Structure 1
Amino acid sequence: MTTLMARFKQRMRRFAQKPGSIDLAPFQALLSDVDKHAETFKAFSDEELTAHAEKLREESTDTELVALTREAAERAIGQRPFDVQVLGALGLLSGLVVEMATGEGKTLAGAMAAAGFAIKGKRVHVVSVNDYLAQRDAEWMGPLYGLLGVTVGWINGSSKAEERREAYQCEITYAPVSEIGFDVLRDRIVTSPDDLIVPEPEVALIDEADSVLVDEARVPLVLAGSTSAEAADPVIADLVKRLRQELHYEIDDEERNVFLTGAGSEAVERALGEIDLYSQEHVTSTLSKVNVALHAQVLLHRDVDYIVRDGKVHLINDTRGRVAKLQRWPDGLQAAVEAKENVQTTESGEILDSMTVQALLSRYPTRCGMTGTAVAVAETLREFYELEVLVIPPNKENIREDEPFRLYATLEQKEDAIVEEIKTAHESGRPILVGTLDVAESERISSKLRAAGIECVVLNAKNDAEEASIIADAGSYQRITVSTQMAGRGTDIRLGGHEGEDHDRIAELGGLYVIGSGRHSSSRLDDQLRGRAGRQGDPGGSVFFSSMQDELITQYAPDAEDPSEVDNDGRVHDKGLLHTFEHAQRVAEGVNLEIHRNTWRYNKLIEHQRDLLLKHRDVVLRTDAAFEKLGEKEGAPDEIAADAARKITLFFLDDLWTHHLTFLSDLREGIHLRALARQNPLDEFHREAIPAFNKIVPESWELTKEKYEAAKITDDGYDLADAGVKRPSSTWTYLVHDNPFGSGLEETMKGLVKMVRGQRR
């Protein structure tokens, strides 16, 4: 009867709350089979367990594999997986994204599934969100894999080429998504098969799957080569600092675009020596630089969008609150921000190749993942990756108390109310985690707390090196931690601190109290922050504060009415406005989904073209196809001539692809103007991109033939640099932050319209 009632409750919970997930019942039905196998494996010695894992490589079922890994986990790392972790592993082995709450043991569930895939003969890449987690989890789960006879390696940003090659040769490789992408890009320009590092993709098991597959899906990973790119002009950076809002420029309602007025254009023209900013000479160069500098000055804010540390501009990942290592803005925006902050401009170079995170992970025939918040993006996962979500119930019931959010008229009143709430909760000694929207807000609130005589610990992108120690004690008695989203995902805050010595005392006080300083543009980020409290059946609480001046409202519900019911402290009780926040959040999520959808429509063609070219390139790389097409070289040994033919052919293929990418970037930047002529921009993009691509291979053969015939090839070898076949002297990798302002050509046209309107006035 108890089992039937539990199943009924689970089905009702799924019907009421989890419409985006698939039925858990078939997986729960497998638990008895897992338990049956587990009884058998308990009697095995360690040696017999390892030998049986080897036997299962020939033939096995998922229940056998999970039962075996469960037994191995208890012996190797002293943790016997709960049934919910077994369910998670079964879901992963079935190619699903499993949703498991914070503290439920996703890392171990993922390791069980990874080992299962490996024993089945599949090469597994466990994709993490950063270097630290890749190394930590690989080393933590190492003894488990060792007992099962499965090899494991890990990669981080400092790994050398040979270390990477060795790690990829393991059956299971832990690595950040960016490092796998960079290695794939580097493999695409090698000129010898011996230099390839990344094996053919088979299984991607993705940690924090919604973050990687959705939030970062559009982020391009870039391979660049040395070039003499023009730096940002400090004169223009200084000039835009003197322009005044309303007089010289205007900002749109969503604060995503800024435009010169007629007066602004005239001021710029005078300052630059009475030039004509909109002449053919200046419209694509000077005006573009002015627009980019204006964007950098007005719309990108220090300690919100980026920080300056050690004389460098560091972007902040807006879904994690951390410094976005290796990440840059595109289209000259990075250099413009560096000029604005008067720091040394970083090298940009020519883009040799790039790929989005979505394209990278779409290469894997089998994809699965785990996260605490998947149902909210179930539609996106299904649409872009053909992935379904399986919701795993918690091992212990969640008893966290989530209060309705509180709304205030102004930002100042909201922050004052947060400080008062912290004061009240702090009197009992209950630990408090304050989640803020950005670095600047975390520092404002911490300053107000200290002014009120309350000490707190701040965790944001400026002191991210201290993250581990700060998080370890965030659940300690009387501790107040003020943090950006760094504490909102992938962190496990234990009551009583890292040793848990005060666990029971703090549980009696109500557990960790999470206070959100504002609603995020994604409900998943709110849920991630809430999820820091109430771990493994612990008590906890959460409440979110918002104001009518928050960006969520000003950007996604700018026409919201002024509040009618306001207390003396600024608190708003108007139910309509409370619902407006829910609406604004849904609008924000819808906008981001449509941007993702639109971006992928264009990227699909680019990825298809890239795949076609890479297949051709791979034939040239691995065979003597180039030598066979170009023929013998008089006076040169066949082997040396074949090598020269191959390298010349690869050079022109890579060079023409680089130029094709530039062409596609320029084409896409202005393609939306075709809509003014009642043309479909995507159709027009395809109409021009396809013929341009079809010219690459024929043109590469023509150029190769010319260089091959002119090249001096002897018994002693050849020097292709003398023949003008010279690759970049250095290459480097980075990620491109989404351009938050749209295309440069669109902004130029909008600037022209604004100028005309200003002149008419």
Structure 2
Amino acid sequence: MAALMSRVGKRLRRIIQRPASVELTRYEALLPAIEKREPEIEKLSDEELTEAAANLREVGKWGDDQLVELGALGREAARRALDERAFDVQVLGTLGLLTGHVVQMATGEGKTLAGALAAAGYALQGKRVHVVTVNDYLARRDAEWMKPIFDLLGVTVGWVEPSRTREERREAYHADVTYGAVSEIGFDMLRDRLVTKAEELVQPEPEVAIIDEADSVLVDEARVPLVMAGSVDAGQADEEVANVVRRLRLGLHYETDKDGRNAWLTTAGSSVVEKSLGGIDLYSESGDGQDRLAAVNVALHAHALLERDVDYLVRDGKVQLINASRGRVAELQRWPDGLQAAVEAKEQVPPSDRGEILDSITVQALMARYPQVAGMTGTAVAVAEQLREFYQLEVAVIPPNTENIREDAKDRIFASPSQKLRAIEEEIARVHETGQPILVGTQDVAESEELAEKLAKVGLECVVLNARNDAEEAEIIADAGRYGAVTVSTQMAGRGTDIRLGGKDGKDRERVAELGGLHVIGTARYPSSRLDDQLRGRAGRQGDPGSSIFFASLNDDLVLQNAPDIPEGIESDSETGEITDVAAHRQIKHAQRVAEGVDLEIHRNTWRYTRLIERQRTELLAHRDKLLRTDLAKEQLEKGAPEKFKELSEAVDDEAKVEQICREIALFHIDQLWSDHLAFLTDVRESIHLRALARETPLDEFHRAAIPEFHKIIPETEKRSIASLEEAEITENGIDLAASGVRRATSTWTYLVHDNPFDSDAEQALKKVRSLLRRKKD
């Protein structure tokens, strides 16, 4: 009876403390058996340990006995290879991953080792595993760091990064376990989508994905499209328009909406622009007014809504976008070409190449290609419902190895950002006097550098980690816990490096611990509570002492964009501007909840449209694969253009070469038609809100337009392929494919498309344009 009550009590505590998480009792029950196996496994030689792991490959479907064996073998392999005996919670995390969950493990609890042991477990079941990271640095670091463990378990490991050749990538993907950044794995999939010979493929069929920082990849970046483009020419913005827009002033010539997603000309602004462009009518239905209006709108968005050192940097003569969720430069990320060119014109830098989009896929759709997905992160419970809704994944909360003793102070709220910043400076100076290390989390590059300048003026030196120097991030973060250190960082989510008290060598650990450990300061609440928790989680790792405090203002962007209607009666201190009223705390939490809700709805809406595209992609790829791997293209052309095919066969006395020529023709046309289809779908989505004005459901209308067009692709591929062969000039060397119009892009490149800041509110934008048109006619 007592045991039953204990189990019930434990289950109730789990429900109260960890909502939306799966029961761990089954996995916890295996821990004693794993520990019992340790003495026997310790006696094995390295070769015998490898052989014992190999025996697991012979088992069909795994049960608890195999999980126990893997846990014991993995623990011993880690002890020998890294001199680290995996804690029970790390083994528990491994078991959670092996059973297809997203495991929540606190910062510093050893997710990397748990992920490696789970990857080895899947590999020993005969499955090929991709360990998906948030950046290239972590992919290489973790693969090299964990390799000795994989070697002892008889599992091969590789990694991919941008500098690797096609052959190196193929070799990495054919290892049992492959580490790679989510973007790099996605780009390789897109590159494979364009090959014309089966032997050029680098990726085998996807089987298992273990995702590090799963909430960041599966939620924050889920709707980010990865794009493969082919060269066309340099993107040209209208320089005359850019020069005119540069002189416009907010409030006089243009207005912006409260959430910073749209900008539009006022009547005065329209007049100035029209006069400056030679007296044209921007809103006329004929002439070049409409073309110029599109250029003006794009230039205005670049000028009014995109801020240097917040949304992008200008470095080495190039515009480089900042990934807001990671606080670092997104190396290959860009806006859709018109906006990219407009920002380049705004900053007066050379235009980058403009490309025709050959293919694209969202991160969410990329992950949906894997039959089995598991993940790990420090903050999964907060997005448990989204993980269930979009990926059918459940969260398993792993308790910390040592109780968290970090002290989280109540937020300090101020009336204005300037008063808040002054209080932050005072807090840093006060804590720094004691020698306690400080980590400050800021919202963007501009804020981090402004704070660093202010600290320097009062003699407080700090190390700044932002998108300008993220290449040195590991070194900077590793040393942020040394005595007297002050580190200012733009975004700590996904940095992937633990902060050790006393610095990376830990020599001053006891001294720093006595002072209270790492002190974390947040300069504002993030749009997501998970990002707050990830910043906080940098302190108090593995039972270390630590503390955290967030500063906020009722005029922070988070509040102004999501909950600007401040309740009446909230008063601030006349000298410091500090607000103690509980209503202010409620307002900031409300603003954060609104921001999270908006993001969820955008994610949900994006996936509604993307699901159809992905079903179409899967169907088309199956047909393309037949063209690539079989003689289907030859059969179609032989049947559709028998005389021309006979002429080709007689001129080219090599059946394999004839087959490849037919394949090249068919693959060119199916790729071109898919590219055209994606462009068509983009146009449909951009205009779909007009359907809502006619009281039609936009999603239904999107499906109604997209499905018939897709069904034309495969028949049209065959028709165009036959026409290309019929029109081709055949010589004794075969066909000049390029002369026949079968011309692929001379160069290709990949990039991530940054969220278009005005696309998601297209309907609002349309209202603004219609209002302006009415005003113009009046």
Fold-level similarity (TM above 0.5): yes
Cross-structure match for 2:605 = 598
Q: How far, CA to CA, are the matches of 1:181 and 1:382 in structure 2?
A: 23
Q: How far, CA to CA, are the matches of 1:694 and 1:90 in structure 2?
A: 44
Q: How far, CA to CA, are the matches of 2:445 and 2:165 in structure 1?
A: 34
SS in 1 for 2:410: coil
SS in 2 for 1:314: strand
Query: Over residues 566-588 of structure 1, what are the superposed CA-to-partner deviations in whole Å (9 max), with x where a residue is unaligned?
Result: 11200011211210111111111
Are 2:706 and 1:679 aligned? no
Cross-structure match for 1:633 = 646
Query: Over residues 226-278 of structure 1, what are the superposed CA-to-partner deviations in whole Å (9 max), with x where a residue is unaligned?
Result: 11365111221111111122222111122211111222222211111111212
Q: How far, CA to CA, are the matches of 2:508 and 2:127 in structure 1?
A: 44
Q: How far, CA to CA, are the matches of 1:743 and 1:230 in structure 2?
A: 23
Q: How far, CA to CA, are the matches of 2:394 and 2:205 in structure 1?
A: 24
Change in Cα spacing, 1:281 to 1:389, as seen in structure 2 (3 Å) is farther
Instruction: Specify which of 728, 732, 750 is matched with residue 749 of structure 2.
Output: 732
Q: How far, CA to CA, are the matches of 1:329 and 1:384 in structure 2?
A: 26
Cross-structure match for 2:620 = 613
Q: How far, CA to CA, are the matches of 1:398 and 1:477 in structure 2?
A: 21
Q: How far, CA to CA, are the matches of 1:722 and 1:170 in structure 2?
A: 41
Query: Over residues 495-521 of structure 1, what are the superposed CA-to-partner deviations in whole Å (9 max), with x where a residue is unaligned?
Result: 000000111111110000000000000
Change in Cα spacing, 1:283 to 1:663, as seen in structure 2 (3 Å) is farther
Cross-structure match for 2:179 = 174
Q: How far, CA to CA, are the matches of 1:505 and 1:399 in structure 2?
A: 17
Q: How far, CA to CA, are the matches of 2:269 and 2:486 in structure 1?
A: 47
Q: How far, CA to CA, are the matches of 1:488 and 1:654 in structure 2?
A: 36
Are 2:126 and 1:121 aligned? yes
Change in Cα spacing, 1:451 to 1:13, as seen in structure 2 (3 Å) is farther
Q: Which moved more, 1:261-270 or 1:415-424?
A: 261-270
Instruction: Specify which of 325, 328, 335 is matched with residue 341 of structure 2.
Output: 335
Change in Cα spacing, 1:283 to 1:625, as seen in structure 2 (3 Å) is farther
SS in 2 for 1:514: strand
Change in Cα spacing, 1:627 to 1:175, as seen in structure 2 (3 Å) is same
Query: Over residues 476-532 of structure 1, what are the superposed CA-to-partner deviations in whole Å (9 max), with x where a residue is unaligned?
Result: 111111111047742311100000011111111000000000000000000000000
Q: How far, CA to CA, are the matches of 1:470 and 1:547 in structure 2?
A: 29
TM-score by length of 2: 0.95
Query: Over residues 510-566 of structure 1, what are the superposed CA-to-partner deviations in whole Å (9 max), with x where a residue is unaligned?
Result: 000000000000000000000000011000000000001101100000112356231
Cross-structure match for 1:146 = 151
Are 2:433 and 1:427 aligned? yes
Contact 2:34–2:71 under 8 Å retained in 1 = yes
Instruction: Specify which of 480, 485, 505 is matched with residue 479 of structure 1.
Output: 485
Cross-structure match for 2:594 = 587
TM-score by length of 1: 0.97
Instruction: Specify which of 350, 353, 357 is matched with residue 347 of structure 1.
Output: 353
Paired residue type of 1:15: I
Contact 1:155–1:175 under 8 Å retained in 2 = yes
SS in 2 for 1:189: coil
SS in 2 for 1:394: coil
Cross-structure match for 2:193 = 188
Change in Cα spacing, 1:703 to 1:488, as seen in structure 2 (3 Å) is closer
CA RMSD across the alignment: 1.9
Q: How far, CA to CA, are the matches of 2:630 and 2:477 in structure 1?
A: 53
Q: How far, CA to CA, are the matches of 2:182 and 2:626 in structure 1?
A: 27
Are 2:760 and 1:721 aligned? no
Paired residue type of 1:600: W
Q: How far, CA to CA, are the matches of 1:79 and 1:691 in structure 2?
A: 58
Cross-structure match for 1:44 = 44
Change in Cα spacing, 1:13 to 1:485, as seen in structure 2 (3 Å) is farther
SS in 2 for 1:364: coil
Cross-structure match for 1:164 = 169
Counterparts of residues 274-673 of structure 1 (less than 5 Å): 274-278=279-283, 279-282=285-288, 284-486=290-492, 489-561=495-567, 564-567=570-573, 568-631=575-638, 632-634=645-647, 635-636=650-651, 637=653, 638-673=655-690
Contact 2:134–2:494 under 8 Å retained in 1 = no
How big is the shift at 1:757?
6.0
Instruction: Specify which of 215, 219, 232 is matched with residue 237 of structure 2.
Output: 232
Q: How far, CA to CA, are the matches of 1:312 and 1:733 in structure 2?
A: 17
Aligned positions, number? 761
Contact 1:225–1:351 under 8 Å retained in 2 = yes
Are 2:93 and 1:88 aligned? yes
Q: How far, CA to CA, are the matches of 2:185 and 2:155 in structure 1?
A: 21
Q: How far, CA to CA, are the matches of 1:448 and 1:423 in structure 2?
A: 11
Q: How far, CA to CA, are the matches of 1:509 and 1:213 in structure 2?
A: 38
Cross-structure match for 2:641 = none
Q: How far, CA to CA, are the matches of 1:435 and 1:479 in structure 2?
A: 14
SS in 1 for 2:434: coil
How big is the shift at 1:5?
11
Q: Which moved more, 1:66-75 or 1:218-227?
A: 66-75
How big is the shift at 1:288?
1.4
How big is the shift at 1:75?
1.1
How big is the shift at 1:72?
1.1
Cross-structure match for 1:272 = 277
SS in 1 for 2:354: coil
Query: Over residues 593-640 of structure 1, what are the superposed CA-to-partner deviations in whole Å (9 max), with x where a residue is unaligned?
Result: 000000000001111111111111110111111111221422244433
Q: Which moved more, 1:705-714 or 1:20-29?
A: 705-714
How big is the shift at 1:12?
5.0
Cross-structure match for 2:140 = 135
Q: Which moved more, 1:391-400 or 1:65-74?
A: 65-74
Q: Which moved more, 1:478-487 or 1:530-539?
A: 478-487
Counterparts of residues 199-238 of structure 1 (less than 5 Å): 199-228=204-233, 230-238=235-243
Paired residue type of 1:430: Q
Change in Cα spacing, 1:478 to 1:413, as seen in structure 2 (3 Å) is same
Contact 2:417–2:553 under 8 Å retained in 1 = yes
Contact 2:492–2:534 under 8 Å retained in 1 = no
SS in 2 for 1:462: coil
Cross-structure match for 1:18 = 18
Q: How far, CA to CA, are the matches of 2:525 and 2:6 in structure 1?
A: 34
Paired residue type of 2:181: P
Cross-structure match for 2:720 = 703
Q: Which moved more, 1:244-253 or 1:395-404?
A: 244-253
Q: Which moved more, 1:629-638 or 1:668-677?
A: 629-638
State percent identity of aligned pairs: 63
Paired residue type of 1:716: N
Q: Which moved more, 1:402-411 or 1:479-488?
A: 479-488
Q: Which moved more, 1:681-690 or 1:439-448?
A: 439-448
Q: How far, CA to CA, are the matches of 1:424 and 1:2 in structure 2?
A: 52
How big is the shift at 1:7?
6.9
Paired residue type of 1:571: E
Q: How far, CA to CA, are the matches of 1:660 and 1:613 in structure 2?
A: 11
Contact 2:262–2:765 under 8 Å retained in 1 = no
Paired residue type of 2:449: E
SS in 2 for 1:205: strand
How big is the shift at 1:200?
0.3
